[in-house]
Structure 1
């Protein structure tokens, strides 16, 4: 099985490279940035190029069985950049995958696609993963558009597309707010494995978070695909005991500080 991962030099792509290695699996890694060379026996193929380039993507998708699309701008940026890289780039990626016969696609969305949803409004079960978009930034708009493109390519062409609304995937939670939004790298690998192996998921929206004590998001949709979280950000809580808790709109809304970030200004 050959799995193409775009944005492989980014934070999540770097974390997934060793975690998604499997006997009999080839990871084809793509990024505009340099990637560490493949180690002997690693089962890795490297492609240098942009997700916005149709020729690069056609070459990258050839003979691929599945695609994990992590490539793009991961913070707030200008509207032009969000449009070109995240939205247009995803369309290029999906069309190349369609033409190459790739039928299983995982798209990296974000909590910022629903950033102006209120935390806790769904009660004990958490905010449903298929909540309609309420983006908090141009970045959030681009992620909502990515989800819409995934829906279109599923409905038009029958591709299985799973959109993962990722909270914050790092080695450790990024501050107090991260105790709610954290997706551990190991859980991220478990989640992507579920997305790749679930029989005929169709089109799905799921949350990409660990089973954190403080999480405000539903895991039911991801669990329906076979995901089981084994991590909880609460084990890091003591490390942030001296930090102030989020307040105001940062606490009220899913998008946290992105809800007050100036539009179009890199953060």
Structure 2
């Protein structure tokens, strides 16, 4: 069976999710170009390796040469001081989209984050049309990425699917993740749908499995054709009903969870 693309680019290939996706995304293209600032080891069959600093405009331009589509998982993926986030997630995003535009690449799948909406309460139901409410510098950088990708769609017709990824781990680490969990298999299927749907324009979708407790309404992304197969119900017994954190805990009140404690802090009295 022929693959949808001749060559795709996976940025952030040395990161937590990038390492897990390295094998599965080979089903999408004859060649997968893996890129990261960190060491990725030796190239395997059907792979190309490119070490690249996203803040280096010329290096990013070379990284994107000959590519048909981009899976952009590169950048800082945790809450940190602003300077490294600015270089990797903001300047890096500008460099990437300028390279995508110059090379005539028509589709990008952008690993955005649920932390673009982290200041909504866990009692809220959120959809892609609602105002953005990031919970830290990391979330702000993903808001910028979503806006920049929208600009390149409106101005240049470059299609992007922004996936607000929940929590992609083998199993939830806390009660919050029962709502935000997405299995690796579901994430790979969502990537496939995002790459191959006939027309996506600028789409924002929530990367989450079919969990019993949900905070996100994904009706605006149904045209992608994504149907999750997994859910977090099998992990519910890990978090007994009586084992709840305090009701005044910020990580309980807000969808951003622990990022409320790792981001910029209120001034001390």
Answer whether TM exceeds 0.5 for this pair: yes
Q: Tell me by how many angstroms 1:7 deviates.
A: 0.4
Question: Residue 185 of structure 1 aligns with which residue?
Answer: 184
Question: Residue 110 of structure 1 aligns with which residue?
Answer: 113
Q: Tell me by how many angstroms 1:23 deviates.
A: 7.1
Change (3 A) 1:190 1:101: same
Whether the 8 Å contact between 1:176 and 1:243 is mirrored in structure 2 is no
After TM superposition, where is structure 1 displaced by more than 6 Å over at least 4 residues in a row?
A: none
| 2: CA distance, partners of 1:139 / 1:186 | 25
- With normalisation by structure 1, the TM-score equals 0.91
Whether the 8 Å contact between 2:135 and 2:263 is mirrored in structure 1 is no
Question: Residue 91 of structure 1 aligns with which residue?
Answer: 94
Question: Residue 172 of structure 1 aligns with which residue?
Answer: 171
Whether the 8 Å contact between 1:108 and 1:163 is mirrored in structure 2 is yes
| Matches for 1:12-161 after TM superposition, within 5 Å | 12-22=17-27, 24-39=29-44, 42-122=45-125, 127-161=126-160
| 2: CA distance, partners of 1:222 / 1:23 | 21
Change (3 A) 1:262 1:12: closer
| 2: CA distance, partners of 1:148 / 1:243 | 41
Residue correspondences, number: 258
| 2: CA distance, partners of 1:212 / 1:203 | 25
Whether the 8 Å contact between 2:134 and 2:143 is mirrored in structure 1 is yes
Determine if the alignment matches structure 1 residue 9 to structure 2 residue 10. Answer: no
Question: Residue 206 of structure 1 aligns with which residue?
Answer: 205
Question: In terms of mean alpha carbon deviation, does 21-30 or 100-109 score higher?
Answer: 21-30
Q: Tell me by how many angstroms 1:160 deviates.
A: 0.3
Q: Which has the higher contact order (CA 8 A, sep 6+)?
A: 1
Q: Tell me by how many angstroms 1:114 deviates.
A: 1.0
How large is the RMSD of aligned CA atoms in angstroms?
Answer: 1.7
Q: Tell me by how many angstroms 1:37 deviates.
A: 1.7
| 2: CA distance, partners of 1:244 / 1:208 | 27
Q: Tell me by how many angstroms 1:224 deviates.
A: 2.5
The 3-state SS of whatever aligns with 1:22 is helix
Change (3 A) 1:186 1:121: same
Structure 1 unaligned runs (5+)?
Answer: none
The 3-state SS of whatever aligns with 2:217 is coil
Question: Residue 162 of structure 1 aligns with which residue?
Answer: 161
Determine if the alignment matches structure 1 residue 263 to structure 2 residue 268. Answer: no
| 1: CA distance, partners of 2:36 / 2:81 | 21
